[in-house]
Amino acid sequence: MLWNCRPFQKFGYGGFVTLDHREDGTTNMMKNEKLFRVVEPNCFDTKERLKDMDRAKVNVQCLSTVPVMFSYWAKPEHTDEVSRFVNDDLLAQCQMAPDRLIPLGTLPMNDIPRAIQVRSFPRVLLCALHIIPFFLFTSVM
C-alpha cells in the first residue's frame, strides 16, 4: 500500500524497501537497490483490492502491510517513525472503504516501551518472528 518509502533514507543506512512502479501495473519491491519481490497492483492499490473482493464476494477484509515493511531490524529510535508511516498509509487506504476494509496496524516491536505507547489502531498484528518465535493477534483497548 505504500507509494513512496524513501523518507527513511534520512536515517543513513539501507535495508528499507522502496517501490518501483512498472508500466504493466506491477511494482518491484526493491531492497538495497536490488529486486526483493514483484507484487501485483492489488497489493497496494485499494481500488484494485476492492475489485478483487467484489469478484470473490468478500464483504470485509482486514489489511496489514507486508511483513518486510515492519523493519524490526532497524534501529529502535527509527522504528517508531517507520511504524507510524506504515500505519498512516494503511489507515488512509482503509478509509477509502471503511465499511469494507479494517486496518491492522504494526508496532515498533524492537522498542517495547514505544510499542505500548503507540495505540492508533483498535487492533494490531504482532508478527514477532525476529523477536520471539510466535505469532499473536490481540486487540488493544
Which domains, ranges and CATH numbers included, belong to the chain? 6-139 (3.20.20.140)
pTM to 2 decimals?
A: 0.75
Cα 98 vs. chain centroid, distance in angstroms? Answer: 17
- Give CA 66 to chain center in angstroms: 5
Residue with grid cell 511483513, as numbered in its chain: 67
Q: Give residue-wise pLDDT tens across range 54-99.
A: 999 999 999 988 878 888 889 988 988 888 888 888 899 999 999 9
Report the pLDDT averaged over residues 16-22: 88
Amino acid (1-letter code) at residue 9: Q
Q: How far apart, in whole angstroms, are the C-alpha atoms of residue 83 and residue 115?
A: 9
Torsion, Cα 35 39 45 50, to 10 degrees, reads -170
Pairwise CA distance, residues 30 & 66, whole Å: 13
